Amino acid sequence: MSSHLERELREQPEALQRLLDAQAARAAEIAQLFSRGDVQYVLIASRGSSSNAARYAQYLLGRAHRVPVAFATPSLYTLYEQPPRLDGALVVGISQSGESPDVVEVLTEAHRQRRPTVALTNVESSPLGRAAEAVLPLEAGSELAVAATKTYMNSLGAIALLFASATHDVEALDQLLRMPAQLARQLELSWDVALDAVEGGTVVARGVNYGTSFEIALKIRELSGLLFEAYSAADLMHGPVAAIGRGWPVIAVAPSGPAFAVMREAAGELARRGARLLTVSDDPELLARADVPLPLLEGVPEWLSPLVAVVPGQVVALRLAQLGGSDLDRPLGLSKVTLTR
């Protein structure tokens, strides 16, 4: 019998379709909050995989509204009890379970300061859902594996839905509505990857897929216990690249789009250093130069590429865990809900 994790990976297209069918109208209502005249920036509170989705939101919501999108510092609200003034903020909490006390406290404080609040959560009746002025349910369904897959995917989908709604971009919405079918095709394209055991590695990306690199690294760490770190291509080249030697595994996330030229240059430099490149891309030339090509479905718009680019990384995390003999559904030392304060 397959694991919960494998089944839930396979369920991602269906879950995304459910979100788009059920929540498009509510997303359009919530998107109006971003257009309030007193909103000068967006502040996001999140933890874990939700923080990787929040990195995607930094790009999309920043582009949609041309305002800064910042991350909250929850310890100021909880440990130090000195929350900052939130004048001009629209505060967004992202939590798949809705149970994280520090994320809830950020939204609670925003409410005290009479700022608009939005929750993206899979459990509308959760503490986070109750604390928010508006809730966009993720509609991912039950997720039994400890490692988040469907809820992460639908967090990206919810952010994309807010972007398309807030910008009134009919073409963007049409592109998003095609994503469940494209996601299903990506899963089939990625499922049979063959890997050798490794001792650690690096994940690198740039631009809208910056969060994708962190999510892939997190999934590998969670499932296999291997030390994988994520970097922006720009940050990697400012020193940390010195630690990458011959044979060191590097997952390079390089879909077509504005960041592709930078990623192609970074991949070339990593290859010259002898790194073992696992390349996630839709570019035939870059894939041909990879040690392990991880092809992306062609024709996916760059702004939506994180929804498919994470899939090869999820499968790599799954395969590395299997090679190491890990329990896919109950990784050592992890729990489904982490109650951080």
Q: 19-29, pLDDT tens digit by residue? A: 999 999 999 99
Same domain, 151 and 9: yes
- Residue 215 belongs to what domain range? 186-323
Is residue 292 within 8 Å of residue 193, measured between CB atoms?
A: yes
> Would you state the pLDDT for residue 64?
82
More confident residue, 157 or 240: 157
Is residue 310 within 8 Å of residue 300, measured between CB atoms?
A: no
Same domain, 153 and 202: no
SS3 119: strand
* Strands annotated E in 50-130: 69-71, 89-94, 117-121
Same domain, 31 and 142: yes
Same domain, 117 and 210: no
Count of domains observed in the chain: 2
Same domain, 309 and 226: yes
Same domain, 119 and 137: yes
- The amino acid that residue 264 corresponds to is R
Whether the per-residue pLDDT at 206 is higher than 80: the answer is: yes
* Strands annotated E in 132-178: 134-137
Band of the pLDDT at 329, cuts 50, 70, 90? confident
| Helix, strand, coil fractions of the chain, as percent rounded to 5 | 50, 15, 35
> Would you state the pLDDT for residue 129?
97
Listed residues 133, 148, 177: the one ending a domain:
177
Whether the per-residue pLDDT at 334 is higher than 70: the answer is: no
- Mean pLDDT, to the nearest integer, of 202-221? 97
> Would you state the pLDDT for residue 130?
97
Which phi and psi (to 5°) does residue 287 adopt? Answer: -65, -35
Whether the per-residue pLDDT at 286 is higher than 80: the answer is: yes
Same domain, 86 and 233: no
pLDDT cut 70: percent of the chain above it? 97
Band of the pLDDT at 32, cuts 50, 70, 90? very high
* Strands annotated E in 29-140: 41-46, 69-71, 89-94, 117-121, 134-137
- What would the pLDDT profile of 145-176 be if each residue is shown by its tens digit? 988 999 999 999 999 999 999 999 999 999 99
Same domain, 165 and 35: yes
333 domain residue, yes or no: no
Listed residues 177, 198, 218: the one ending a domain:
177
332 domain residue, yes or no: no
270 domain residue, yes or no: yes
Whether the per-residue pLDDT at 73 is higher than 80: the answer is: yes
Whether the per-residue pLDDT at 341 is higher than 80: the answer is: no
Same domain, 151 and 15: yes
The average confidence (pLDDT) of the chain is 94
| Distance between CA atoms of residues 215 and 148, nearest Å | 10
329 domain residue, yes or no: no
Whether the per-residue pLDDT at 78 is higher than 90: the answer is: yes
Same domain, 173 and 110: yes
- What would the pLDDT profile of 94-143 be if each residue is shown by its tens digit? 999 999 999 999 999 999 999 999 999 999 999 999 999 999 999 999 99
CATH of the domain at 202: 3.40.50.10490
339 domain residue, yes or no: no
340 domain residue, yes or no: no
Listed residues 139, 159, 177: the one ending a domain:
177
Whether the per-residue pLDDT at 335 is higher than 60: the answer is: no
Which phi and psi (to 5°) does residue 158 adopt? Answer: -65, -40
The number of C-alpha atoms within 13 Å of 72 and in the hemisphere containing its C-beta is: 32
162 domain residue, yes or no: yes
> Would you state the pLDDT for residue 178?
98
- Mean pLDDT, to the nearest integer, of 275-292? 97
Whether the per-residue pLDDT at 1 is higher than 50: the answer is: no
Whether the per-residue pLDDT at 327 is higher than 90: the answer is: no
Whether the per-residue pLDDT at 301 is higher than 80: the answer is: yes
Same domain, 95 and 137: yes
338 domain residue, yes or no: no
Same domain, 150 and 236: no
